[in-house]
């Protein structure tokens, strides 16, 4: 893996770990952190040894949103420079959202603004009881525009109307109730145990099938169940069933053995 200044990356047992490592700044975004995260995600996605990616943070905060120093600099940017920054964040979130491998957010503390966007762009999110959340942009006179597609997909329009407009902080229990988190646990040890169990489940499944599932969800989500959607889904299962992985999986099931993607 490449060397980075503000993140830590490692690969172990088929799991790629991407850890935000700016604890002294509460892992807040700036242009450098965004660039490093985007590059690292692409590197992990291209690594054939990586079957799943866990996004985590050092320190007390998961991600405090935009860094104040960065925002202070951005206040003097031209329209073109502001658009460049917005596009860089949009590129990071799209890269995370469209990663071909399953992604898990390990949320151990507060997540504000763009930090909520990171969680929403992951496939699975687990948080500790003391995690806090806020879509805080309107407090600063701005809007959560770039993260909005992912947050809307995660918690729906109704809860976005409340939390994007009020900028209230809400608890891990509320994040679980509205769908931002899939699971909540008491502390760090239980957080690692829960993520370990999810990884165990992920790693026994077909990697190509998981990538195809992610693409399927993106295509089908929000679409009417009409003839084009029905045709699309039928074509996808036909193609995947005939693929080498699909044939291997079906053969392994019928022969009562483990498929070849499971390490012995």
Q: What is the pLDDT of residue 262?
A: 87
256 is written with which tokens? 């009562």
- Ordered strands of the 132-134 beta sheet: 111-112, 132-134, 169-171
Whole-number Å distance between alpha carbons of 38 and 89: 9
Mean local confidence (pLDDT), 83-110:
94
The pLDDT value recorded for residue 199 is 97
The whole-model pTM stands at 0.94
Residue 134 pLDDT > 70, yes or no?
A: yes
Residue 218 banded pLDDT, cuts 50, 70, 90: very high
Is the Cβ–Cβ distance between 26 and 176 less than 8 Å?
A: no
The answer to whether residue 197 scores a pLDDT higher than 70 is yes
Q: Does 198 have pLDDT greater than 80?
A: yes
Q: Is the pLDDT of residue 58 over 80?
A: yes
**Percent of the chain surpassing pLDDT 70:** 99
**pLDDT (average), residues 187-204:** 96
Q: What angle do CA 38, 44, 49 make, to 5 degrees?
A: 175
What's the pLDDT at 264?
62
Residues 239-250: tens digit of each pLDDT: 999 999 999 999
**pLDDT(172) > 70:** yes
Residue with tokens 């407090």: 139
Q: Which residues contact 181 (CB under 8 A, 6 or more apart)?
A: 107, 119, 125, 126, 127, 131, 172, 175
pLDDT of 123: 98
Can you state the angle between helices 244-254 and 207-220, rounded to 10 degrees? 120
Q: Quote the CA–CA distance of 166 and 136 in Å, as a whole number.
A: 8
* Average pLDDT of the residues in 229-237: 93
In the structure encoding, which two tokens stand for residue 108, read together?
């151990």
Q: What is the pLDDT of residue 1?
A: 66
137 given a catalytic annotation:
yes
3-state secondary structure 166-224: HCCEEEHHHHHHHCCCCEEECCHHHHHHHHHHHHHHHHCCCHHHHHHHHHHHHHHCCCC
Catalytic residue among 36, 137, 212, 245: 137
Cβ contacts of residue 72 below 8 Å, gap of 6+?
Answer: none
Mean residue pLDDT across the chain: 93
User: Per residue in 3-25, pLDDT tens?
Assistant: 899 999 999 999 999 999 998 88
């Amino acid at each position: 893996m490449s060397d980075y200044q503000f993140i830590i990356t490692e690969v172990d047992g088929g799991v790629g770990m991407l850890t935000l490592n700016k604890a002294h700044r509460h892992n807040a975004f700036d242009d450098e952190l965004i660039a490093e995260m985007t590059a690292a995600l692409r590197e992990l996605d291209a690594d054939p040894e990586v079957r799943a990616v866990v996004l985590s943070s050092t320190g007390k905060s998961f991600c405090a949103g935009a860094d104040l120093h960065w925002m202070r600099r951005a206040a003097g940017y031209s329209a073109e420079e502001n658009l460049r920054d917005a596009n860089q964040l949009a590129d990071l979130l799209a890269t995370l959202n469209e990663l071909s491998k399953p992604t898990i957010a390990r949320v151990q503390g507060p997540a504000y603004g763009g930090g909520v966007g990171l969680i929403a762009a992951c496939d699975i999110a687990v948080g500790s009881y003391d995690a806090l959340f806020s879509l805080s942009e309107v407090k600063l006179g701005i809007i959560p525009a770039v993260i909005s597609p992912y947050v809307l997909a995660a918690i729906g329009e109704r809860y976005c109307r409340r939390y994007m407009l009020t900028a209230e902080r809400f608890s891990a229990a509320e994040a679980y109730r509205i769908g931002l988190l899939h699971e909540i646990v008491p502390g760090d040890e239980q957080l690692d145990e829960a993520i370990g169990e999810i990884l165990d489940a992920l790693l026994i499944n077909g990697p190509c099938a998981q990538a195809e599932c992610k693409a399927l969800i993106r295509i089908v989500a929000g679409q009417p169940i009409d003839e084009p959607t029905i045709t699309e889904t039928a074509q996808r299962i036909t193609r995947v069933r005939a693929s080498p992985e699909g044939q291997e999986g079906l053969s392994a099931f019928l022969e009562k053995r483990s498929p070849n993607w499971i390490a012995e």
